[in-house]
Structure 1
Amino acid sequence: MKVAYIKPFFIAALIILADQIIKIWVKHHMYIGEEIKFMGNRGMLHYTENNGMAWGLELGGDLGKLALTLFRIVAVCGIGYGVVHLVKHKYHRGLIMNVSLIFAGAMGNIIDSTFYGVIYNYAPIFHGRVIDMFYFPLISGYFPKWLPFWGGEDFIFFRPIFNLADSAISIGVILILLNQKRYFKHETVEESSINSEMVEE
């Protein structure tokens, strides 16, 4: 396997390692709700734990939590298989790299939800919580009173608290969406050639 195709796996491994190092440091050096500011009020570490899906959504009870974790495991296995498939069939290197970012991010959060409950003795296996810490409330203010539904309410951009794994997933998805024409150009050309040959016959 060429070095160019080994690189995505190496970067994915580094992201998973860095993500876990940051989470473990936060877990052992901060208390939930504590903030360490490094950009004043515009950027900080804010320790929180996510018990469910993105945006704090949850599936009901212990059974819902178990189902969510198992779904994540199945999903990350599928993504991992996808990366191997892309490498074997020599897809665009950018696509392989971005799918690897998504894989690394998903794997990083699965480690939390699968093992952290057992490691930190607060829940059985598959029932752990995902640790989040990066918070960038860059803009804050109030919606105009004339605005329907949200008029007069406060707003913060960017409100979500996230971790390195979340960032890897977001970057991978965004880059795939922005570059999909370039990533899948080769496959489109091949399909067009096949269709042309069939018409000629």
Structure 2
Amino acid sequence: MKSPNSAQDEHQATPRTVEEQARTRIQEEFARTLFVVTLADTAEEVGYPGISGADWFNLVTTETPEPAMRAADYLIRKLEHENQCTVVDLLRRALGANPDDDKTELLKKFGHYIPMEAMGHGVSWTDSQEPFQITYPTYFSASDLILIGQDALKQLPLFDQTDIEEDKLAEQPETTCWGFNNDYEPPIAGYDYSAASQSTP
């Protein structure tokens, strides 16, 4: 005999569509890029020099926090609004323009270069890949959305051996590692927020 909740349990266990799975993969890749860049920028603002010659994407071993997933979701929605198509459609365009590339590797590049270019970090998709049709938001800054706390900064390698600007450090949330700036997120004109997800799919 099935329990009263069995139908609900079966519904929850239903596999997501390929489209939904692809969107989540893109969101995860975007989130990692936004998180590492925001952490690096914030650390440098308080005087942390990092390790000479180190790649921040190798230096940061912390798991991607939930606020970064929310920031990635916001960037995805801005891209979808600007391009009038889904982010998965944009990935399909990228794949179509680079048919000889490994799909898994291209997804990782898409997840890195697209957010970097959206933030204006001087890193372009066309530095290493063939171009495809995409319109970027006029303005996007992950640091406006992802809050980096003092605890997170203090966990960086050699943090206690660097010349930190205490007044700058004090501007960061004192006891929180990560947070999401709910007061900042501006609306997207014409976007139906009643149907929008604010968290990880």
Q: Shorter-chain TM-score: which interval?
A: under 0.3
TM-score, with normalisation over the residues of structure 1? 0.28
More strand by share: 1
Q: Looking at CA atoms only, which structure, 1 or 2, has the larger radius of gyration? A: 1
